[in-house]
Amino acid sequence: MPKKTILQALFEEATIGILVANQEGVIIEHNPYIEKLFGYNDLELKDKNIEELLPESFRTRHVQHRTSFHKKPAPRAMGANLELFGQKKDGTQFPIEISLSHMTFHGEPYAIAYINDVTNLVEAKKISDDISKIVEESLNEIYIFHAETLKFIQVNKGARQNMGYSLEELQQITPVDIKPDFDLDQFTQTIAPLLNGEEDKLLFETVHQRKDQTTYPVEVHLQYSRLGNQPVFVAIIININQQKNYEKHLIDYSEELEEKVKERTKQLEENRAQIELAFYKEKELSELKSRFVSMASHEFRTPLSSILSSADLISRYEKTEQQDKRMKHVQRIKSSVDNLTSILNDLLSLEKLESGKITSSIAEVDFQDFSSVLLDEVNLLTTDEQQITYKHSGKGIVKIDQHLVKNILLNLLSNAVKYSPNGTDVELSSECNDDILKIEVKDYGMGIPHEDQEHMFSRFFRATNATSIQGTGLGLTIVKRYLDLMNGSISFESKENEGTTFSVEIPQ
Amino acid sequence: MKKILIIEDNDDIRENLEEIFSLSNYNVITAENGSIGIKKALSESPNIILCDIAMPVKNGYEVLESLKNHNTAHQIPFVFLTASAQEKDIAMGKDSKADYYLTKPFDTSDLLNIIKKLLKETA
């Protein structure tokens, strides 16, 4: 292909504007692309001064540039200055880039200008500048550090201000220097998945340390990237202090709530227990009251009947010779009154015991002597067909409160007599060693029904098989309280219709 | 002379009742528990029965039940005389087949009047 043809095509088909101007700036020749760039046609451009293709404000300065170029013509490459503008025929301005070369023809110097429309380039640079500005001014901390040396390259304002370091200072250190929870090995391991492509992005929480040594919790968003030719990591750091505080507050609050719930539950349980106890006590008291009323009604009415009827009979025996009959009834009245008094005494004893007015007074006693005196008294209660046997073993001298033990045994023995038929014996036995005095009262009487046994020491309780027999239901209650006073204990074994054995133990 | 059967386990009261009715010209028969009471009611054919409730062997209600189911003894007027004087006891007594429910302690003349009245009604 002839060179001329090629050169012509280069000129005609170039996608860059080319024009040739003389020393005075008059356009001598131009290629078609110039027409396209500036909106003039071929004729309009011919002999037009080059300054006319520039905005008004550039023209004077350009004349100087042109003059100095022709004085010392040297090629000038593109890209040195992006602040040059061209002006189209319609007056619109657009950024251009110009490179220059020169030629001489018939001794006349000419300048050759290559003109490029750089609107897109300028726009792109502006966007890039804006992005840099956004990054710089972001309130999040943004760090760019070298992927190999780990040294910071670029750190935005938010980070510098918060950390208290200048950019120059930061450029001397690495992320490990501001992460007290990491050493170099740990950090290298952490970022390895980004380097080897296993992960696109890493997200982790740690702590950052400021220049003034204070620390704050952060969330690190880390990505591998490139800055020009340099492999870099871009880290966006979010201060999660507030979030952590909020979380802590939430945790504290939830713990506090949990504690409160526990406390309230405990209170409720305590209240429930108290209510149950109160209810139980109330129920017990009510049963007690009912048993007392029943006992009092029955046990008082019988001797009162006897008194009333004997009194009536006395009034009927008017004759002198009926003195013995009157005396019999007087005696009956006295005995009934005694009976009532004894019920009252039982009630009073219990009241005294329960209000702590009775105390024990322990003394050394010869138990066999004590028992024989007691038995003389009890034998008055028995019939000829019933007798009380007694045997003792072990130590003769025992430590007891005589008054209390006498009442205990009177009670147990009179019960044994009362609840066993004629012809059966009652057996009293005692045994004493250094530690304990054991006393047993055994009868072969009606026994205590199994279902009643647990209630036998409750006030006013009468066994179901004994309701037709007079009694207050206080005897065993009083016995147990007396034994409590001496730190003693009482238990029994019983089988209905076979008999009962009461066992008393008094520590020595 | 009217015959009265007194069934009462308390010796003093039984003896006093015996004296009271004897002095008022009754022929008095006594029993110290329910079981003996039933036997005597059947063998002695009393005109009226005065019976305690809380007694050993057989109680007053058992005596009443036994006699009221008997083909002849069921006609004999039956009076409870008892220390069971709480409302529920009285209600139970009044619901029973007994002709009267009298509580202790009792007024002698009231007792005599009641017995006399019941005997007149049945006569």
**CATH number assigned to the domain comprising residue A468:** 3.30.565.10
Q: Which residues contact A398 (CB under 8 A, 6 or more apart)?
A: A364, A365, A367, A432, A437, A506, A508
Number of domains in chain A: 4
Domain shared by A413 and A307, yes or no: no
Q: Which two tokens stand for residue A308?
A: 């009333």
The pLDDT assigned to A429 comes to 93
State CA A389 to chain mean position distance. 71
The pLDDT assigned to A81 comes to 60
Query: Given CB atoms, is B59 within the 8 Å cutoff of chain A?
Result: yes
Query: Given CB atoms, is A322 within the 8 Å cutoff of chain B?
Result: no
Domain shared by A352 and A383, yes or no: no
Domain shared by A199 and A297, yes or no: no
Query: What was the ipTM of the complex prediction?
Result: 0.91
Q: How far apart are CA A340 and CA A330, in angstroms?
A: 15
The pLDDT assigned to A331 comes to 92
Q: Domain for residue A417, yes or no? A: yes
Residue B70: is its pLDDT beyond 70?
yes
Query: Domain of A279?
Result: 253-357
Of A357, A387, A420, which residue is a domain's last? A357
Domain shared by A416 and A498, yes or no: yes
Of A189, A216, A239, which residue is a domain's last? A239
Residue-wise pLDDT for A293-320, tens only, equals 878 878 889 899 999 999 999 999 989 8
Name all domains of chain B by residue range, CATH numbers in brackets. 3-122 (3.40.50.2300)
Helix (H, G, I), strand (E, B) or coil at A333: helix
Residue-wise pLDDT for A389-440, tens only, equals 999 999 999 999 999 999 999 999 989 998 998 889 899 999 999 999 999 9
Domain shared by A448 and A335, yes or no: no
Gyration radius from chain B CA atoms: 13
Out of B20, B56, B86, closest to residue A313 by CB: B20
Q: Domain for residue A244, yes or no? A: no
Q: Domain for residue A300, yes or no? A: yes
Q: How far apart are CA A37 and CA A40, in angstroms?
A: 8
Residue ranges of E strands in A84-171? 84-87, 93-105, 108-117, 141-146, 152-155
| 0.80 exceeded by pTM | no
Q: Domain for residue A151, yes or no? A: yes
Domain shared by A497 and A384, yes or no: yes
CATH number of the domain enclosing A300: 1.10.287.130
Contact B16 A306 (CB under 8 A): yes
Q: Domain for residue A490, yes or no? A: yes
Domain shared by A176 and A209, yes or no: yes
The pLDDT assigned to A82 comes to 54
Query: Given CB atoms, is A311 within the 8 Å cutoff of chain B?
Result: no
Partners of residue B22 in chain A, C-beta under 8 Å: none
Domain shared by A263 and A348, yes or no: yes
Longest dimension (CA), chain A: 195
Domain shared by A339 and A439, yes or no: no
Query: Given CB atoms, is A265 within the 8 Å cutoff of chain B?
Result: no
Of A213, A239, A265, which residue is a domain's last? A239
For residue A103, the 8-state DSSP code is E
Q: Domain for residue A341, yes or no? A: yes
Residue ranges of chain A with pLDDT lower than 70?
A: 78-82
Domain shared by A158 and A102, yes or no: no
Q: Domain for residue A132, yes or no? A: no
| Adjacent-strand bridge partners of A325 | none
Q: Domain for residue A458, yes or no? A: yes
The pLDDT assigned to A78 comes to 60
- Read off the pLDDT band of B26 (50, 70, 90): very high
Domain shared by A403 and A287, yes or no: no
Q: Chain B closest CA to A320's CA: distance in Å? A: 17
Domain shared by A28 and A81, yes or no: yes
